[in-house]
Amino acid sequence: MTTITNRYDFVLVFEVINGNPNGDPDAGNLPRLDPETNRGLVTDVSLKRKIRNYVDLARHGQDGFHIYVEEGAILNEKHRQAYRAVRKDDPKVDKTPKLNPNDDAEAKKLNAFMCDNFFDVRTFGAVMSTGVNCGQVKGPVQMSFARSVEPILPLEISITRMAATNEAEKKQKAEGDDSSDRTDNRTMGRKHIVPYGLYVAHGFISAKFAERTGFSEADFELLLEALGSMFEHDRSAARGEMATRKLIVFKHGNALGNAPAHSLFERIRIGRNVDGEFRTIDSRLDNLPPARAFSDYLVTIDRDNLPDGVEIIEKL
C-alpha cells in the first residue's frame, strides 16, 4: 500500500454529557483537570485507546490490522512473533527469555514485521525493547491532551447497591433503622461525573515518519473513521454520553508542510452561542447559564487567505 505523501494536522472536538471522560486513579477517579483554570483534560493515551478499540472492532482478525497494545496482552510474546517470522528455523526463539537482533539488517526486518502487522505500531509508534527486543518506532500520528473550552465542575454522585453478596450480609439490618424488622443490604459508593464539557484535541500526521512505518492512505482513512465513530462503541455508565462533534483536517500540499500547525489551529474558534451570535469565551460570560448542550456553542472556521498549498477538509 502507498504511504501518505502529505502532511496533515487535525482538530478533534468532542462532548461529554454526565460522564467521566478520563478519571485519575491517583485522585479517587476524579475527572482530570488543570488546577489553575479548572478546565478539563483528557490524555492522549485515553484517546488512542478508543482509536485502538475501534480499529479492532472494524478490522478484527484482518492481516495488518492487529493491535499491539491491548488489554491483558503480553508484549514480549508479540515481539516473539517477529523473531519467529525472521528466524524461522531457530528453536531458541520460543524458549529464550531475552532476544536481540544479530545485526542492523535483522533489526530492520523485526521492526518492519511489527509495523506491517500491527496498526497501532505503524500509526502511533512503540517502544519494543522490553526483553525480547524489536527496537523502537517513532509513529507518524501524534495527539495532544484534549482540553475543555470552558472550566468544568465535576460532581460527586452517591450511589447505592441493594443486593447482598452473601447470606451473612443479607441478615444485617440497616444501620440505625429500628423502626421495622426489614433487613437492608445497602452498600454506598460514589460516582464522579462532568455534567457537560466540550473538549478540543489537536493531532499531527507526519508523511516523513509514515515513510518509515508504512502508514498508508488506507490507514489514514481508517484513522479518520475511528476519530469520528470511536465514542459510539465506547459506551458505559461511567462515561455517560460522549460524541465527536467536529473533525477538521488541514491537508498540506507536501510532506514537510506549508504552514505551522499552530497558525492553522488558530483558524478554528469556539465561542458561546448567545441568541445566535458568536461570543468569545471569557469572564464576561459568567452571567450566562452553564453550557449543557453542543448547541450552546458555535464553531467557526476562518477559510480566508489560507497559506498556499493548505486545504481544509471538514469531515464532521
Query: Percent of the chain scored above 70 by pLDDT?
Result: 92
Answer yes or no: is pLDDT of 172 > 90.
no
Give the CA dihedral 228, 234, 236, 239, nearest 10 degrees. -50
On whether the CB atoms of residues 293 and 234 are closer than 8 A, the answer is no
End-to-end CA distance of the chain: 26
- Taking only the tens place, the pLDDT of each residue in 65-88 is 999 999 888 999 999 999 999 999
What is the pLDDT, as a whole number, of residue 176? 45
Mean pLDDT for all residues in the chain: 90
Q: Higher model confidence: residue 165 or residue 175?
A: 165
What is the pLDDT, as a whole number, of residue 123? 97
Measure the CA–CA gap between 6 and 21, rounded to whole angstroms.
32
Residues in the chain: 316
- Mean per-residue pLDDT, 259-278: 95
pTM: 0.89
- Taking only the tens place, the pLDDT of each residue in 214-232 is 999 999 999 999 999 999 9
Show the cell assigned to 166: 452473601
What is the pLDDT, as a whole number, of residue 169? 63
- Mean per-residue pLDDT, 116-126: 96
